[in-house]
Amino acid sequence: MQKKDKNSKARKADKISKELKEEIKIIATNRKARHEYYIIETYEAGMVLRGTEVKALREGKANLKDSYARIDNEEVVLLNMHISPYEKGNRYNQDPTRPRKLLMHRSQIRRLVGRVVEKGLTLIPLRLYFKGSYAKVELALAVGKKLYDRRKAIAEREANRDLRRALKERNK
């Protein structure tokens, strides 16, 4: 009985130390996405990278603007994401906007296929980050906002800002 307790304590300690090692370092965010879309659900996916792309990402040379994901043959592919060529990479550099395969569980992909095709939802990347030593993408299942929805959100934000400013001046 005591042997099991010692092993379980060791496993817990290993798990805690592993969680501390897996800190997240954000490389790029898609700030426009939350303004232009209603986010329904988010997923984490790994990325298949080639050559010097990892070194370029470590330098923070990535852009998620205008990028989106599509499902082809039960594989999720990230399109239009720009990773600038690594300066010291010479001939080993890849095309900056090449399609990149994303790694997800098959059950997650099947669920996404149903929702994207049937309901007309979109897959967009929200942020790109390193989790431990792995490059990951946070994908969002989203619905596009209409122009009047965006205007309404801007008006609410400005009204809240004016209200805070008035309260701040009043409390002086």
pLDDT digits 0-9 by tens, 8-22: 666 666 666 555 556
CA dist list (Å): 89 to 28, 52, 54 = 21, 6, 11
- Give the residues across from 125 on adjacent strands: 139
What pLDDT is attached to residue 1?
Answer: 47
Amino acid at 72: D
DSSP states of the chain: -HHHHHHHHHHHHHHHHHHHH--EEEEEE-HHHHHHEEEEEEEEEEE---TTHHHHHHTT-EE-TT-EEEEETTEEEEES-EEPPPTT-GGGPPPTT--EEEE--HHHHHHHHHHHHHH--EEEEEEEEEETTEEEEEEEEEEEPPHHHHHHHHHHHHHHHHHHHHHHHHT-
Extract the tokens encoding 165: 């400013």
Query: Is residue 91 pLDDT above 70, yes or no?
Result: yes
Q: Are 56 and 73 in contact (CB under 8 A)?
A: no
Would you list the domain boundaries of the chain? 23-170
Region 80-102: what's the mean pLDDT?
Answer: 85
CATH class of 23-170: mainly beta
User: From the CB of residue 134, how many other CB atoms can be counted at a distance below 10 Å?
Assistant: 13
- How confident is the model over 89-116, as a mean pLDDT? 87
Residue 34, pLDDT score: 86
One-letter amino acid of 148: Y
pLDDT digits (tens, 9 = 90+) for 44-87: 999 999 888 888 899 888 999 889 999 988 899 999 999 988 88
Q: Please, what is the Cα angle at 101 between 110 and 23, to 5 degrees? A: 95
State CA 90 to chain mean position distance: 29
pTM above the 0.95 mark? Answer: no
